[in-house]
Amino acid sequence: MKKNQPIEYSEIRAGQSIELLKALHILTRDGKMNQDSRRKLKQVYHLYQFIEPLLQQVRNESGALTLVDHGAGKSYLGFILYDLFFKVLNDNSHIYGIETREELVTHSRELAQQLGFGGMSFLNLSVAESIVSDKLPDKVDVVTALHACDTATDDAIHFALKKQAQFIVLVPCCQAEVASVLRKNKGKQLAKDALTELWRHPIHTREFGSHLTNVLRCLQLEAHGYQVTVTELVGWEHSMKNELIVASYKDLPRKRAAERLNEVLSSVGLEEMKHRFFTE
């Protein structure tokens, strides 16, 4: 298969702007797509299938909706969401892209203006700044974080909880913080519990730490009243980082999840990380 080949337009969703895909460099100027771009587009489209019914539910219940994309990067997700869902809405619905790299924020602002996407804003803010910034509403409907690395996913969760988001959609990326604490405390834990063998070897520490991080995130969300589902975003042939966490606020009982989260932290020697996975 050639690196660049004529685009199969059947791969592009109805209503999708070809000019947008070219501007995002998913399509070349002559309408071709390489394998990397094809994988990227398939992944974003697959995620869109999960997000679209959530957006529609908010629209049905509340009218105009607000979505915040944390760690937006080049804002592939935000632009495609806007192009496929938001641009036809005749109301105050809005997408905010939050990104700490100023050059990416500047580029996204210019692209939104070029495309006439008036319901998009891009802010050069940290999570802490975004929580208190008057450039964002006090309450938002949906928070997304696509491949936000390491603690950036936890930061997005923190933001979503503070902003009382109805839906939270996460695709975690590389995760090192929990693994580093497991590694630090491994010696003490080995003498206490045979289950420490699960992360005794370095490669297992990394893999177990990554899995455990997402388990703790799910418990944290449940401890705040959310219903959580975890599934595969796309097949392994497209991405090794493909776990999708979708949380819907249902005001569910919190006590059991909070207790289990603290029990897990204690069992694996992560008591010092309670501040990261706070439940109150």
pLDDT score for 192: 79
What mean pLDDT do residues 67-73 have?
Answer: 93
State residue 120 phi and psi, 5-degree precision: -120, 135
Question: Does pLDDT of 5 surpass 80?
Answer: no
Q: Given this model, what pLDDT does residue 239 score?
A: 46
Residue 179 backbone phi and psi in degrees, to 5: -60, -35
For 56, the 3-state DSSP assignment is: helix
| Percent of the chain at pLDDT exceeding 70 | 93
Q: What is the DSSP string of 63-115?
A: SS-EEEEET-TT-HHHHHHIIIIITT--S--EEEEE-S-HHHHHHHHHHHHHH
Which amino acid would we find at residue 247?
A
Query: Are the C-beta atoms of 111 and 52 separated by less than 8 Å?
Result: no
Q: What is the pLDDT of residues 106-151, one digit of tens each?
A: 999 999 999 999 999 999 998 889 999 999 999 999 999 987 776 7
Residues paired with residue 232 on neighbouring β-strands, in sequence order? 243
Per-residue model confidence (pLDDT) at position 3: 47
C-alpha distances (whole Å) from 80 to each of 56, 176, 253 are 16, 30, 35
Q: What are the tens digits of pLDDT across the range 242-273? A: 789 999 999 999 999 999 999 999 999 999 99
Ordered structural domains, the chain, with CATH: 47-273 (3.40.50.150)
Please compute the mean of the pLDDT values over residues 25-41 and round it to a whole number. Answer: 83
Assign 99 a pLDDT band (cuts: 50, 70, 90): very high
What percent of the chain has a predicted confidence (pLDDT) above 90?
62
Residues 53/167, Cβ–Cβ less than 8 Å:
no
- Arithmetic mean of pLDDT over the chain: 89
Query: Which band of pLDDT confidence, cut at 50, 70 and 90, is reported for residue 14?
Result: confident
pLDDT at 247: 98
Amino acid identity of residue 174, one-letter, is: C
End-to-end CA distance of the chain: 53
Question: Which pLDDT value is given to residue 280?
Answer: 80
Tens digits of residue pLDDT in 188-240: 787 778 888 988 999 999 999 999 999 999 999 999 999 999 998 865 444 45
Q: What is the pTM of this model?
A: 0.91
